[in-house]
Amino acid sequence: MVPGAKARPVQEFLNVLLFRPLAHLLVRLLLPTSVRPPHLVLFHTGLALLAAWLLYRGEDLWAAFLLQLKTVLDNADGQLARLRGEVSALGRYLDTEMDFLGNLALFVALALRTGEGEKALLAFLVFTLVQSFDFNLERLYREARGLPLPEEPQDPETPLLRLLRGLYALLFLPQDRAIRALELFLKRRLGLDPLRFWDEGALAGVVNLGLSTQLFFLGVFLLFHQPAAYLTFVLLQALYLGLGYVWRIVRSIPSPRWGP
Contact 190, 70 (CB under 8 A): no
Q: Find the DSSP H helices in the chain.
A: 13-14, 20-30, 37-57, 60-84, 89-114, 117-144, 159-171, 173-189, 194-197, 200-207, 211-223, 227-252
Query: What span, in angstroms and rounded, lies between the C-alpha atoms of 259 and 166?
Result: 55
Strand, coil or helix: 89: helix
Query: What span, in angstroms and rounded, lies between the C-alpha atoms of 43 and 11?
Result: 25
Query: What span, in angstroms and rounded, lies between the C-alpha atoms of 16 and 75?
Result: 10
Query: What span, in angstroms and rounded, lies between the C-alpha atoms of 114 and 232?
Result: 12
φ, ψ of residue 252 to 5 degrees: the values are -105, -5
Exposed / middle / buried, residue 181 (Cβ in 10 Å: 0-12, 13-18, 19+):
exposed
Q: Domains of the chain, with CATH numbers?
A: 13-148+157-252 (1.20.120.1760)
Contact 95, 41 (CB under 8 A): yes
DSSP 58-88: T-HHHHHHHHHHHHHHHHHHHHHHHHHT---
Contact 97, 38 (CB under 8 A): no
Among 151, 30, 35, 38, smallest CA distance to 90 is for 38
Among 33, 36, 34, 15, smallest CA distance to 24 is for 15
Residues in Cβ contact with 61 at an 8 Å cutoff, skipping those fewer than 6 apart:
222, 223
**pTM given for the model:** 0.94
**What integer pLDDT is reported at residue 256 of this predicted model?**
66
> DSSP class of residue 10?
S
Strand, coil or helix: 258: coil
How would you write the pLDDT of the chain (260 residues) with one tens digit per residue?
A: 677 677 889 999 999 999 999 999 999 999 999 999 999 999 999 999 999 999 999 999 999 999 999 999 999 999 999 999 999 999 999 999 999 999 999 999 999 999 999 999 999 999 999 999 999 999 999 999 999 988 878 888 999 999 999 999 999 999 999 999 999 999 999 999 999 999 999 999 999 999 999 999 999 999 999 999 999 999 999 999 999 999 999 999 987 654 45
